Structure 1
């Protein structure tokens, strides 16, 4: 455990076990140098406790990098709640988690993530003020999608010579709240959509409403397209999948798309432009951070607009240095976190 913390330069790891509610939670705090750690709360089944801890640490580090390059006064953190096989009361579990967060005295602020909802955040907020994405605060997903859409246009400009998406074949893998909102924006811009999701109902909705072409999940990564947009869970880009990609660029909403840092170099070697995920998908973090400190939509919208320019700058540095954009983004984030 300590070796994992040291490798990620993690500040702290907190564990909670509440047999009464069924809560088994991990909170990883990567950095508080730029401000309180902010990051989502995942509620998923894990094969073992080590997998949950590893996921929390990896995601917390990504949140620190994301917050640093997004220019908000926060560090990165992540919570992982291990979903039990049987649960008497979901509300009681999330209320127990709220009490756990409160013991950290503001060092960690939670938000929605995979497997959680605004209703869960409402339960957490009964016991701590260090919670965002509540019913009253609003869903951050549309703002994540807006930032990714702007980033895809910047990626098209850098790789294809223009930011007009009319007629481009864009493959969206994952049609959750963010993925579907992104698909809607891409459809409105005239893109030809290829879609996949484990939920056949979401795929059918995209076919009916957006004229999308359904592709089996296992086939989407090898289907020819202009831009691949991973919008599901992480780790989709590994040595095997990258070898079979048939796209000009990868730009999507999923966190931690690269199975390992070296995969960025393999994408670069194949001439596939990679948009660093934590730069592209920062819209949700920007929304919850600014809402939590009382900012209105005009300020949030203005901050979201910076995502495209930040990505364009990273592409320019990467081209000049003949390096992967992912390597450039990591270096910039680490400078802000450790050297400034």
Structure 2
């Protein structure tokens, strides 16, 4: 890949290549934008086919975190790290401590947390070398598993989307098709069941499906059949890219709201569902509960009640996205980007004004 051209296109700030021969560490830290504050984003461990693939994933995910943090109203920029390796067999204390030293060398420009392939225990090892890590185990006094808080944010975001689509955010008697019932989605289903929604669920894990059926009286369908379900709301909570050319014609839902990342296979799929009149809650806005939860640790001592209260802003943030979409007649995925970019631009301009004033004072001296 033409690395500098790629970085220039979306104005990335920094790319750090980390290598430690003795532990086998091969990692990339990407920092996209620190206009709003230090870059916060998790560390993903994955068996990438090529080094270029790993670099591209880190860069793409870092940009996504910039927009997620900005849209969530956090004073944080966007960054991401990836470690090349099999999380089932390649982990070691030495590897994560070496990685922690690389994070420490950035002096706070990048703060990490857990992500796909990493755990709270991995964050504990990183924490031995740096304080610029969140999401360590609760034994260490931090926020721990963010799944319950993420689920709460999805629930509130779904209510906002329902308000935009149906004129009311009441989910009682609404039929909601939930794709994937892992940690986040199971807790989401608890909220939905308590409100009186009718649940249709699917997952490649049969035990997860049975658990939801037994606990909530959900109707189970095969994974490929979830798109054909007659429902009010489709909630993608597993793989990304499930909104695509094949699935869009099948969807009967008036709302798409779920926890999965990268729900649109391509941007034009956001245009297609907009033209169909489907209200789509952009993924990085609705699933920001986890990062809001982790960011609360930056206050010094994590407070779950305070974090949950901050997550309530997801409802208002989505209502703002829907307002922009309606006023400008644009798809919600574009409206979400616009909302995030407006905040970053405002802060960036404010920073320029401050620097300009400081410089003029020095000149006058």
| Residues 85, 117 of structure 1: alpha-carbon distance in 2 compared, 3 angstrom cutoff | closer
| Structure 1 length-normalised TM | 0.93
Deviation digits for residues 243-295 of structure 1, max 9, x if unmatched?
A: 33221111111222222222211110111111011111111111111123225
| Mapped contact 1:110–1:130 kept (Cα < 8 A) | yes
| Mapped contact 1:142–1:181 kept (Cα < 8 A) | yes
CA apart distance, 1:155: 0.8
| Mapped contact 1:40–1:78 kept (Cα < 8 A) | yes
CA apart distance, 1:86: 7.7
1:123-162 matches, cutoff 5 A:
123-136=125-138, 137=142, 138-162=144-168
| Residues 197, 51 of structure 1: alpha-carbon distance in 2 compared, 3 angstrom cutoff | farther
Deviation digits for residues 173-198 of structure 1, max 9, x if unmatched?
A: 22222122112211222111122222
| Mapped contact 1:111–1:121 kept (Cα < 8 A) | yes
Number of the residue aligned with 1:7: 9
| Mapped contact 1:172–1:228 kept (Cα < 8 A) | yes
Are residue 37 (structure 1) and residue 47 (structure 2) matched?
no
Structure 2 stretches lacking a partner, 5+ long? 348-365
Provide the alpha-carbon RMSD of the alignment: 1.9
Number of the residue aligned with 2:66: 64
1:30-109 matches, cutoff 5 A:
30-84=32-86, 87=89, 89-109=91-111
| Structure 2 length-normalised TM | 0.87
Number of the residue aligned with 1:186: 192
SS at match of 1:105: coil
| Residues 42, 86 of structure 1: alpha-carbon distance in 2 compared, 3 angstrom cutoff | closer
SS at match of 1:73: coil
| Mapped contact 1:62–1:256 kept (Cα < 8 A) | no
Are residue 232 (structure 1) and residue 234 (structure 2) matched?
no
State which of 21, 28, 31 in structure 1 corresponds to 2:30: 28
Larger displacement relative to structure 2 (18-27 or 159-168) = 18-27
CA apart distance, 1:217: 2.1
CA apart distance, 1:237: 2.1
CA apart distance, 1:82: 2.2
| Mapped contact 1:67–1:75 kept (Cα < 8 A) | yes
Work out the CA distance in 2 between the residues paired with 1:198 and 1:40: 25
Number of the residue aligned with 2:288: 282
Q: Which has the larger radius of gyration?
A: 2
SS at match of 1:30: strand
CA apart distance, 1:134: 0.6
Larger displacement relative to structure 2 (293-302 or 73-82) = 293-302
Structure 1 stretches lacking a partner, 5+ long? none
Number of the residue aligned with 2:353: none
Query: How many residues matched?
Result: 340
Number of the residue aligned with 1:312: 319
| Mapped contact 1:22–1:84 kept (Cα < 8 A) | no
Work out the CA distance in 2 between the residues paired with 1:253 and 1:201: 20
| Residues 199, 281 of structure 1: alpha-carbon distance in 2 compared, 3 angstrom cutoff | same
| Mapped contact 2:58–2:80 kept (Cα < 8 A) | yes
Work out the CA distance in 1 between the residues paired with 2:15 and 2:242: 26
SS at match of 1:29: strand
Larger displacement relative to structure 2 (79-88 or 261-270) = 79-88
Larger displacement relative to structure 2 (200-209 or 139-148) = 200-209
Deviation digits for residues 16-61 of structure 1, max 9, x if unmatched?
A: 2333223222211111111000011112222332222222222211
| Residues 88, 234 of structure 1: alpha-carbon distance in 2 compared, 3 angstrom cutoff | closer
Deviation digits for residues 294-332 of structure 1, max 9, x if unmatched?
A: 252343233111110121122122112221111111112
Larger displacement relative to structure 2 (71-80 or 38-47) = 38-47
Work out the CA distance in 1 between the residues paired with 2:28 and 2:120: 20
State which of 310, 330, 336 in structure 1 corresponds to 2:337: 330
Deviation digits for residues 137-192 of structure 1, max 9, x if unmatched?
A: 12211111111100101111111222111121112222222122112211222111
